[in-house]
Amino acid sequence: MTLFEEEVVATAAPSGPSSRVRLTVAYDGSGFRGFAEQKTVPTVGGALRAALEKVLGHPIELTCAGRTDAGVHAWGQVVTFTTFPRHDDAAAELDVELLRRSINKMLEPAVVIRDAAVAAPDFDARRSALGRRYRYTVLNGPVLDPFTAKVAWHIEGPLDLRAMQMACDPLIGEHDFRSFCRQPSGHPPGPLVRRMAAASWIDLEDGRLRFDVEANAFCQQMVRALVGTLVDVGIGKRKAGEMAGILRAGSRSAAGQIAPPHGLCLWEV
């Protein structure tokens, strides 16, 4: 059985009715230079597109809900693309479950499709997204845990979780987050207004702390800059009351360090 209802021979070019497909993808970003495809380095998008084209038998164009940086992980990345049947039978239906299993056999465990479905023709992973939720994990304690080292930032010194939580309060709402975003090189700093719905720290016990943040959209390195600045508050380098001023400054130099990428996960779209 093929991905469509009948066994067919692949044609040179796509024909027949198209299907818009939505994938929910999880991946370990450790071995990739981010999601966005690049010619000379391995990326999640490049690996996923190559596998899909091999199975489907024709070129595709992937759209993702958010481009993760090198080393960043995902549990709920959403991807869309358009595919065509390999013959002219208008009744052919795409077997998305077979597609999911086929791709997972090729890419797992680094990349896994958690869910696959036929979407509305106008559904677009990026433009249809109402918000994104990220999680960042910190391991706070004297000893590094080798089993979580790839997915958590290890900080030895004690962190003031209460101060870090207080510093989250000014972030809620609509603000210009230029102070926490990497500006494109060669361009003058411009406004980067985002609407943040939630930002909080959770004590998972055993030294594990998790930062959950949700907004309508994020700019490059925004979550990592937020975490780095909040950790600066936690170690006493900054005060929680400084956060509002950092936002108003509109300058990356006003904020704190960039947290390493391996603790970050795109959790949900």
Distance in angstroms (rounded) separating the CA atoms of residues 181 and 225: 7
Residues linked to residue 175 through DSSP beta bridges, in sequence order: 194
CA dihedral 248, 253, 255, 258 (to 10 degrees): 140
Residue 95 tokens, joined:
């077997």
Q: Which of 69, 88, 145, 169 is catalytic?
A: 69
**Residue keyed to tokens 């992980």:** 73
In this structure, the chain runs to a length of 269
Buried b (16+ CB within 10 A) or exposed e, 93-113: ebbbeebbebbbeebeeebbb
| 69 has catalytic annotation | yes
Residues linked to residue 268 through DSSP beta bridges, in sequence order: 133
Residue 182 CB neighbour total at 10 angstroms: 15
The region that residue 111 occupies, defined by phi over 0 for left and psi between -120 and 50 for alpha, beta otherwise, is beta
Sequence-ordered alpha helix ranges (H) in 176-263:
222-234, 243-249
Return all residues near 199 (Cβ < 8 A) that are at least 6 apart. Answer: 168, 171, 172, 211, 212, 213, 214, 226
CA dihedral 31, 253, 130, 32 (to 10 degrees): -10
CB 259 within 8 A of CB 222: no
CB 256 within 8 A of CB 228: yes
Residues marked active site are found at 69
